[in-house]
Chain A
């Protein structure tokens, strides 16, 4: 491994926390480039400012001080220095990237499904998806990702890891977390939120490839926990009671498009949905009974609510079991 002699420090203090084995190397290279940039930018700026003051035209017919248009030494120098710098950056960046490409064989295997607009994370051995990711500290973890619809991109800034999720192919991303950062739970075991309603603890996970209206709400957390905590399967949060399970499935799959407070998102609000009367784009009036809601989930394109775009994705058995749909129904009945 090439270890640079100088450790490049953070002159501006702006990279996210370093939480994976990649971060150190990437950041050092980043700061190397920052220093090179500041130096060459400073030089250019100084020369520009100096000559526009010192060599400025004071009388209208003042000729130039010098008419030199050529200086081989100078030109060789300013060709060679940038060449050396960019080749260094190239080689260093390539090396770091090779590490990012190949996951170790013993990495824990996760499965990820991205969709408009959310993520389903399947932890090793799990059959139900989770809303957030839990990983054990100091263990390599590998995510095999697919998309149900359009391009998305799996991005965890603190891990310096990013990979596009492309429909029709399996994409792989991996990292090895180095810093514990679990969820902050209250006495009842519920995750706490800050003044803005954001979860406390964990590293941010974003979708970084534009995917439409809910692109910016595909924000989730990567919780890094100790091996002991990990062994307790903290991701296994499926509640016992049907109503609780229904809400869980809602948060996992529907939250980007349906509100529970009556406000209009991409789709109609779930508040007071059960038994609500409405009209479809074909002009027919309907009442939202259980059968209708089941059909809306399995075949959303069959009947489209008036005033909304036909963009709701189909949820198949594999993505949302019949029992899960039943749970959602139980929970929907409580939203009045």
Chain B
């Protein structure tokens, strides 16, 4: 096998295909709205979650602009509380949880397995419509009086507030089922739909990551569903489970909530890690360093992540033994996470490194993920967490993991598979500029937040003492830079759909099966049924072990 060089001149002409691409095979609204094709469903998700990201992002900018002055520049406190709640709900439940699995996962997973579709195409479409219904319900809750509880819905505040908590809870319940359906589908697909010859250890790491994520989705999300249902019942009928006024325990809610929401952090980050593994190997033209360790670390992170939820509640009055256990287990998660980071760096090291747009996004991920991971250790450390808990340090930490890592990995993946999805390329110069703007903007936004958090600035404050103004202003400047970066991205991606140059069949020279299909793929993906014979990640000069 020789090294692959993308040959743009020889990009396949429409006529030279054996079959029309999945984009051309049928036309019209219903051919999309009723489609069972995993690629079209993936694209509908892509459009949906991007729209959600846009809404959440605009809310984020409003938050940052409001905090320009200590007394709050824009909103009354009550409105500010609604704005940050909506920002959280949109970004967490509607954007980031489905972002990678449901859009990229849907598109890429069957291709990587050499399969014509996912195992359960109808369930896949149902999952999309549940997502859409949940989103519409969330928007309805906003219109019917908004929600000001924060995305965490802590009791008893969420039981006392006058607002649309019940309908927002039901929205989250519905979104949760969408997530469960997707997870279930992918588990079955990975078990049943692998190409001939594709053993488990010939699965690309993205598949491993999606597999680990799906297990989490199926096991953890029902707990969220039960929790928000109980919350709704408590709100409506005072069943006395979370409300101390009726004999309930508000801290129980926190246990239930974080039993889901900590694994949810890994529902977000594991697929991101999978994307980064793929991008890093292809653009370094080098097999992944420590493949098995990377695969097993995904699984071990998934397992341990079920046992650490109590680290969100170190100040709630847990017993010392409980704190000991949760702190210890939290520290354990840091180890496979560190292994992953080092393995990616080692993959790039000595590669044939192409600083393409997807690669720049991936490098930005590696930088910010290091920050997010390291600051996580601060928060897992008991005595230090007592000081940092519920401050901007936590805000900055989880934005590093969710926004700076998961969202960036999502965009790295979008740029990486974009030519495969649409058969067209975007303007790479602009893409690189936007990657750099986002990396810079992220750090200008969140490094000041780490600083003021360690000084004690509590989170979810509509107003603050003037000492912190300078940090808030820097943070707002950073958010504006981020906003420009994302706006630019949206611009050149949309432009590419209509006027981008034709992409090569294998734009980056990837060697996993997703690159073997025609570009864009056929309705059932491949011209011939693929069979796996060679090594995984073989770039043409054999892997040394």
Contacts and interface: CB of A to CB of B under 8 A. Distances in A.
B315 A69 contact: no
B363 A48 contact: yes
Most A-side CB within 10 Å, residue of B81, B350, B458, B542 = B458
A315 interface: no
4 closest Cβ pairs, A-B complex: A157-B456, A96-B383, A168-B244, A93-B381
A98 interface: yes
A133 to B, nearest CB: 16
B385 A12 contact: no
Interface stretch (A70-78, A226-234, A238-246, A278-286): A70-78
A15 B5 CA distance: 53
Nearest to A311: B162
B331 A30 contact: no
8 contacts: A29-B384, A30-B384, A48-B345, A55-B353, A62-B352, A69-B287, A89-B381, A216-B462
A155 to B, nearest CB: 6
B458 A208 contact: yes
Contacts of A92: 381, 383
Interface stretch (A33-41, A178-186, A325-333): A33-41
B12 interface: no
B378 A30 contact: yes
Interface string B336-348: 0011011001101
A69 B350 contact: no
A101 interface: yes
Contact of A61 (B3, B377, B466): B3
Contacts of B288: 69
Interface in A145-172: 149-151, 153, 155, 157-158, 160-164, 166-169, 171
Contacts, number: 287
Given A90-B381, A266-B78, 6 more contacts: A36-B374, A78-B338, A79-B338, A86-B334, A96-B384, A162-B387
A85 B381 CA distance: 11
A127 B407 CA distance: 54
Interface in B502-545: 539-545
Nearest to B337: A82
B382 interface: yes
B382 A96 contact: yes
A47 B288 CA distance: 16
B348 A48 contact: yes
B374 A41 contact: yes
B544 A212 contact: no
Contact of B335 (A60, A79, A149, A161): A79
Interface string A115-156: 000000000000000000000000000000000011101010
Interface string A197-223: 010000010111111111111010000
B465 A198 contact: yes
Nearest to B359: A52
Which of the listed residues B154, B289, B544 has the most CB atoms from chain A within 10 Å of its own CB? B289
A14, A69, A98, A157 — which one has the most chain B CB atoms within 10 A of its CB? A69
A213 B454 contact: no
A171 B387 CA distance: 17
A37 B339 contact: no
Interface stretch (B89-97, B176-184, B228-236, B316-324): B316-324
B144 interface: no
A153 B543 CA distance: 56
Nearest to B148: A212
B386 A161 contact: yes
Contact of B456 (A25, A48, A206): A206
Contacts of A204: 456, 465
Contact of B455 (A16, A95, A97): A16
A150 B378 CA distance: 28
B121 interface: no
Tell which of B156, B249, B331, B366 has the most Cβ of chain A within 10 Å: B331
Nearest to A212: B157
A151 B249 CA distance: 11
A307 interface: no
